[in-house]
Structure 1
Amino acid sequence: MVHRRTVRKRTVALWAIFILVVLGVTAQLLFTNKVKYALAKNVPPHLNLEYGSLSTNILLGSITLEDISLDHNAQLFNLQARQIKVSGLGYWALLTKGDISVSDFSLNEPVMVLQKTKTDSTKTPSNGSKKSDSTRIAIGNFSINNGQLEVVENPSDSTQLSIQDINFSVSDIHFDPETAQNKIPFTYGNYELHTQKLYYDMGPYEFLQLDALQFTPEESHITNFVLQSKYSRDELSKKLRVEHDHYDLAINAMSLKQFQFGFETEEPQLHIQEITLQEPHFQVYRDKLLPDDTSHKKLYNQALRDLPLDLQVDTIAIQKGTLSYEERLELDVDPNSLRFTELTATINNLHSKKEGKVQVNAEAQLMGDGFLSLDWSFDPQSKSNDFLASGTLSDFKTESINPFLKTNLRAEVSGDVNQMYFTISGNEVKSTGEMKMNYDEFEFVVLKKDRLGVNKLLTAVVNIFARKNSDTDPEGYRYGYFDVERNTDKSFFNYLWINLKAGLLDTVTGKGKKKTD
């Protein structure tokens, strides 16, 4: 009797297992076929999807595609991926409401090529269905692993953007009819991006690249940032119709803290708490043999005010930088550089739409010798583009700047600047300022046209008006005052330079006395 009951129980159990297996296999087959049908019917007609294999697991709610190829009919993009995997599919939400909910969505080893275009072909045709308007999509975590991205103007053009080894993850993605009305049509949680070897074509003359990027909203790091001209100096000059600077900027390391981006208004908003540039090296070369670029140059007030985004950077810090500038004025004369070394600077409250002044404080060694400081402030909301600049130069042996003066002004200078102070107040079109300087044995030498000898006549004439020593007041200072009109087709730094030049001229050759109220 007991034996029969045992046999009966075993038989029932075996039948139960058999039925469950049959039901499981049937459900698995139905689920797989349903996924294949959905891929075949729901992929938009302007897209071509191919894949090598498809596997599913109904118990885990997972779908895996291998060897994927996705193409746009108009060749606007192409995606090749080793694997796409979806897991944790929520059946109840899908069956009862038509909502899509998954715990993980991963794209493994994708290679994406996008074609940048300005034509209407970027608009994807509508399939005439409004069902997706009420669809809700929730993804617990989306990730791209070891991806590549390339952007081209058209299939035959060179690369405009290239990113290698993309590893990206973002959590808590939600899309619904409410979020669809926003500029960014979904909400998201934490995100993180790691890439290698980014290249960006900035236009006909410059490119940008970096070796590595580690990005999170809290803190980000960039390694070996480079912004350079695409061509050598001579090659660039041959391609230009008007002046355009040749750039070579290299930054060993950059860091960003508290990065926030959004669309709370019609304009995009970007807020960064702090940017640090470590050991930037910037070389600028200008070929003055080319025709001048006579277009209007915006001062920084207007340049920031006209930005198409709400920008706010609380602090930018520059550490141990170098800056050099060269001009070619004559075909057979090699230029010498004006150099600023040991450059440190802080820029506070850089903004485009907020309130308050941008404050710049910088210090450097001029030509590796004298100590130079500059304090500069301006309000981006000032329609007259007002600014205030002040600075000092101390312990400067003027002979160190002679290589630059020789090639640029056919002149040399001797003597020591013990201390110089200047203040400049200006706007879009004019400025005024004052300078005081303590110097010794200051003397000008005007060179011949071939720079191989001294033009004694002009040298004598210049030094008749120049005061050799600054002995006007009891403290040994001479004073200068100046008014300058801006050339609006020149940059702010040209504006700053002509103010300083006017101040030096009046200080050394003028009355040299301090004005009394």
Structure 2
Amino acid sequence: MNKFIRKTLSIITVSLVVVIALYVSLSIYITHKIEDGLRNLPLHIQLDYKQIEIDLLSASAELDSVSLQLNSPDLSTKLLSATLKTIKIEGVSYRDLIYNRKLSITDLKMNSPKVVQYNSKLKKIKSDSLNKSDESKKPVKIYLEQLSLTNGSFKKYDSLHNINTSAKSLNIFFNKINYNAKDNKKSIPFNFKSFRIEGESLMAQTSEFEILNVENFKITDKIFQMNNGTFQTKYSRKELNNHISKERDHFLIAFSAINAKKYVLKGLDSNAISLKIPEIRLEKMDATIYRNKLKADDLTHKKLYSEQLRYIKHQLAIDSILISDSKITYAEKVKVGAQPGEIYFKNLNATIANLGNNYPKEKAVEIKVNTTFMKSTQLKVDWSFNVNDKNDRFLFKAGFGALPAEDLNPFVTPNLSIGLEGVLEETYFTIGGDKRRSAIDFKTRYENFKVDLLDRETKKEKKFLSNILNLFIAKDSKENKNNFRWSDVKDVERDPTKSVFNFIWLNARKGLLGAMAGNGKK
């Protein structure tokens, strides 16, 4: 081997050694910088891992067997913990790490995160209780081009250590995340451009009595979707009686899908949250509502919907809610040993416009319903009220098609011990009122109408009393012009301890009695 070749090989060997040495040194240095960055997260964020591997050429890293714990800012309370199989970091900016003390990452992937949140009451943080060494540090900055969590799970415990929220098969994606430690006191201490959250088997206890279950869901910055869900009382009808001292609805609401598109949500990092939704679609809802009237009355003041919406804490504006192909059943038990009385609405389609407290003063909530009442009676409802009107004025219009009176017997017989005969061929009424009183304009056309008073125990007709009662009721409306009988009731007083639907019922009952037992003239 001549001298030139030996010299060339020596230069190559030395160069390779130098390059390898530089690569190893730089890898160690970069690893140290990343670990330093992770160690210098805010003190209430604890991050541990088994090992970290660095690929200097691709500017990537991988952490194995990761655990994360988030405490309250004063370090007194554990808020959240998580374990992950791996965290993969790709596209680290060396320049930002070295010169700007900023962790800039192109892609951060979290595999199989298992997250547990604890529902603990936080103490108020005093300014002098913050860790002084933490204050003296230069704020940590983090930028993520993309963050993804795949195949995750989530559980949230209440103060009694019971699970009140959970979900499986979670996939979460965020784009363009910026985090600055100086913003850590905000509700959401980072900002982002867009996100997507998908999951299955969602369970959320929304109150002491109610629970939501959803087969699968998808939420992004533009759409909200839940499929095959139920919202229901978590106790059976019998069990609920053991948990309440006053009347409370027991219900089960099942739905095929709830969809919202192009919504705008603002103010999550503050106390001024604003939500605007152009349209919500609720498909194939089946609601069953039951009330045990044997329990003591709930005598608390009941607000009309306009007042409830007016005083929502945050700003809400839903331009349109569309309900399609749905059903509602209401059952009421008023007598021991008797079956609950029941009424139902099927083939229900409805629209609700301008729902919320963030509309111009002149814009009213408008509710339109088209449904089948009981077996085959067509019913249309047109209901409007203005949220900004502190008198809570409203207008309620309804029109019924042919209603065989016997269709009402499953409700009135168990509850009122009466039976009805005949046909209400057409019925229309308009109610105008406010939160205290109302008036109703009522008209109906009917044939061979008869009320049978029944014995409470045997359900047999009390013929003598029935005959006396029917002397005061016009048998039909044929003798009147256009075959309608009318009534105009001027003053119906609302019971403020009852719901708005009780108020509607009071009006309808007085209107019907006035038409049948009054002079029947317009």
Normalising by structure 1, we get a TM-score of 0.93
1:93 is the counterpart of 2:89:
no
Partner of 2:28: 29
The CA RMSD measured in Å over matched residues stands at 2.4
**C-alpha distance in structure 2 between counterparts of 1:458 and 1:192, whole Å:** 68
**In structure 1, distance between residues paired with 2:108 and 2:309:** 40
Of residues 60, 63, 80, the one that matches 1:62 is: 60
Q: What is the CA distance between 1:77 and its match in structure 2?
A: 2.3
Q: Give the corresponding residue for 1:150.
A: 155
Tell me how far apart the structure 2 counterparts of residues 49 and 123 of structure 1 sit (CA, whole Å): 25
Identity %: 28
Q: Which residue does the alignment assign to 1:80?
A: 83
**1:165 match:** 169
Which whole-Å CA distance do the structure 1 matches of 2:193 and 2:79 have between them? 30
Paired position in structure 2 for 1:255: 259
Once residues 194 and 45 of structure 1 are traced to their aligned partners in structure 2, the CA distance between those partners, rounded to angstroms, is 31
Alignment partner of 1:500 is 2:508: yes
1:461 aligns with 2:468: yes
Q: CA deviation at 1:38?
A: 4.8
SS at match of 2:470: helix
Report the equivalent of 2:281: 276
Judged with a 3 Å threshold, the aligned counterparts in structure 2 of structure 1 residues 131 and 362 are, in CA distance, closer, same or farther, namely farther
Deviates further, 201-210 or 385-394 = 201-210
Q: Does 1:485 align with 2:483?
A: no
Q: 1:121 offset after TM fit, Å?
A: 8.0
Change (3 A) 1:153 1:374: same
Equivalent residue of 1:223, what SS? strand
After TM superposition, the structure 1 stretch with the greater mean CA deviation from structure 2, 469-478 or 170-179, is 170-179
Distance 1:184 1:231 in 2: 35
The match for 2:49 is 51
Superposed CA deviations along residues 162-181 of structure 1, whole A, max 9, x for unmatched, are 11111010101124599779
CA shift for structure 1 position 424 = 0.4
Alignment of 1:376-395 (within 5 A): 376-395=383-402
Structure 2 counterpart of 1:192, from 191, 196, 216: 196
Q: Which 5+ residue runs of structure 2 have no aligned equivalent?
A: none
Shift, 1:185, TM fit: 4.1
CA drift of 1:282 comes to: 0.3
Of 193-202 and 114-123, deviating more is 114-123
> Given the alignment, which residue of 302, 310, 317 partners 1:312?
317
User: Does structure 1 retain, via aligned residues, the 8 Å contact 2:41–2:140?
Assistant: no
Write the distance in 1 (CA, Å) between the matches of 2:458 and 2:208.
Answer: 37
CA 1:175–1:49 in 2, change beyond 3 Å: closer, same or farther? closer
1:219 to partner: Cα distance: 3.1
For residues 122 and 294 of structure 2, the distance between their equivalents in structure 1, rounded to whole angstroms, comes to 39
The counterpart of 1:298, out of the listed 303, 310, 331, is: 303
Contact residue 472 and residue 512 of structure 1 kept, 8 A = no
Amino acid at match of 1:241: S
Against the structure 1 CA distance between its residues 158 and 439, is the aligned structure 2 distance closer, same or farther, given a 3 Å change threshold? same
Aligned-partner residue type, residue 202 of structure 1: T
Q: Please, what TM-score do these two structures have when normalized by structure 2? A: 0.92
Pairwise CA distance, 1:395: 1.6
Tell me the secondary structure at the aligned position of residue 161 of structure 1.
strand
Aligned to 1:208: 212
SS in 1 for 2:401: strand
Q: Decide whether the 8 Å contact of 2:46 with 2:68 is kept in 1.
A: yes
> Which residue of 2 is the match for residue 331 of structure 1?
336
Measured after TM superposition, the shift of residue 193 of structure 1 is 1.1
122 and 500 in structure 1: CA distance in 2 versus 1, 3 angstrom threshold: farther
The 1:296/1:450 distance shift into structure 2, 3 A limit, reads same
Partner Cα distance (2:138, 2:101) in 1: 11
- Looking at structure 1, the residues matched to 109 and 103 of structure 2 have their Cα atoms a distance apart, in angstroms, of 16
1:409 matched residue in structure 2: 416
Instruction: Compare 129-138 and 83-92 and name the one that shifted more.
Output: 129-138
- CA 1:183–1:428 in 2, change beyond 3 Å: closer, same or farther? same
Deviation string 1:283-302 (CA, Å, 9 cap, x unpaired) is 00000110001111111001
* Preserved CA contact (<8 Å) 1:183 1:263: no
Letter in 2 for 1:210: V
Unaligned ranges ≥5, structure 1: none
CA–CA separation in structure 1 for the residues paired with 2:227 and 2:215 = 6
Q: 1:194 to 1:371 in 2, by over 3 A?
A: same
Structure 1 residue 448: Cα displacement? 1.3
- Selected match of 2:292 from 287, 291, 316: 287
Q: Which amino acid aligns with 2:402?
A: D
**Structure 2: how far apart are the matches of 1:216 and 1:37?**
34
Q: Distance in 1 between matches of 2:6 and 2:519?
A: 123
Aligned equivalents of 1:290, 1:325: Cα separation in 2 = 17
Contact 1:392 1:421 in 2 (8 A): yes
The question of whether the paired residues in 2 share the 8 Å contact of 1:179 and 1:187 is answered with: no
Cα distance in 2, alignment partners of residues 98 and 130 from structure 1: 16
Bigger Cα displacement from structure 2, 299-308 vs 216-225: 216-225
Task: Give the corresponding residue for 2:118.
Answer: 115
- Which residue does the alignment assign to 1:106? 109
Q: Is the 8 A contact 2:249 2:289 kept in 1?
A: yes
Mapped partners of 1:138, 1:31: distance in 2:
17
CA contact (8 A) 2:167 2:199 kept: yes
- CA shift, 1:494, in A, is 1.0
- Aligned partner of 2:227: which letter? T
Q: Structure 1 pair 358/21, CA: closer, same or farther in 2 (3 Å)?
A: same
- What's 1:354 paired with? 359
Pick aligned residue for 2:238 from 213, 234, 240: 234
Q: Number of aligned pairs? A: 511
Amino acid at match of 1:130: E
In the alignment, is residue 322 of structure 1 matched against residue 320 of structure 2?
A: no
Contact 1:436–1:478 (CA under 8 A) maintained in structure 2 = yes
Q: Is the 8 A contact 1:217 1:257 kept in 2?
A: no
Within 1, Cα distance between the matches of 2:115 and 2:124?
Answer: 19
The separation in 2 between residues aligned to 1:205 and 1:180, in whole angstroms, is 34
Identify which of 407, 431, 454 aligns with 1:447. Answer: 454
**For residues 347 and 443 of structure 1, what CA distance do their matches in structure 2 show?**
37
Q: Is the 8 A contact 1:406 1:451 kept in 2?
A: no
User: In the TM superposition, what whole-angstrom CA distance separates every residue of 1:152-171 from its partner, at most 9, and x where no partner exists?
Assistant: 124x5211111111101010
